[in-house]
Amino acid sequence: MKIIIISLVFVFMFLAITAGYYIWNNKEMIVSNAMDTIEKKVDDLIDLPPYGEKEYIRSKYGDLLDRIDKAADNSDSHFKFGASIEELKLPSEFVYVGYIKDKQEKDIIKRFNWSGNRLTTKGEFGAGYLKGDETIDVMIYKKEDRWKYMDSFVVYIQHMNN
């Protein structure tokens, strides 16, 4: 009986050490997968208005958003990115284009001044409002973590309630 208990203790110790070794060596993958799962669950809980959904925004502005993506990919500095955005001659409903580097947001195009906002994204797309002298509804397009010269960029497109 004593031998069985000692054997079981050694088996459990071996399993615990093996599991610990596996977890330690794969901790980045485990955490990454867990975060992806959590983000997906949170995204599933977010209800966006129809104009904030990816399909709606892409159907109306997909070509222009692709051109903004291309400008980001073809630039090697935020100065070139800004110049490329200005060359696109975006329509007036593009009320804001900015980029973030080291947690500091910089404006490229700002056609509406606001003092408050409520913005919700689901992945790269979303909706919300900007509150200034008036309140406008906006569609959101945000890209993150693809470039050395900036961490992300964001586009607000005014949604006309018609």
List, for residues 47-80, the tens digit of each pLDDT value. Answer: 789 999 999 999 999 999 999 999 999 999 989 9
Give the pLDDT of residue 44: 58
Which pLDDT band holds residue 38 (cuts at 50, 70, 90)?
low
The C-alpha angle 80, 146, 144, rounded to 5 degrees, equals 100
Residue 155 has pLDDT above 60, yes or no: yes
Cα within 13 Å of Cα(155), Cβ side: 25
Give the pLDDT of residue 104: 92
* Same domain, yes or no: 78 and 30: no
Which pLDDT band holds residue 35 (cuts at 50, 70, 90)?
low
* Same domain, yes or no: 145 and 72: yes
Q: Which domain holds residue 93?
A: 50-158
Residue 124 has pLDDT above 60, yes or no: yes
* Same domain, yes or no: 57 and 129: yes
CB atoms within 10 A of CB 96: 19
The arithmetic mean of pLDDT across residues 35-45, rounded, is: 60
Give the pLDDT of residue 141: 97
Whether the full predicted model's pTM is greater than 0.75, yes or no, is no
Residue written as tokens 């977890």?
23
* Same domain, yes or no: 54 and 89: yes
pLDDT in tens, 129-142: 999 999 999 999 99
Residue 120 has pLDDT above 70, yes or no: yes
Lay out the sheet containing 94-101: strands in order across: 104-110, 94-101, 152-158, 135-144, 125-131, 116-122
Residue 146: strand, helix, or coil: coil
CA dihedral 32→148→107→88, nearest 10 degrees, is -110
Rounded Cα–Cα distance for residues 49 and 161 (Å): 12
The arithmetic mean of pLDDT across residues 138-147, rounded, is: 90
Overall number of domains in the chain: 2
Tally: H helices and E strands in the chain:
4, 6
Give the pLDDT of residue 1: 76
| Average pLDDT, rounded, for the chain | 87
* Same domain, yes or no: 99 and 150: yes
* Same domain, yes or no: 40 and 73: no
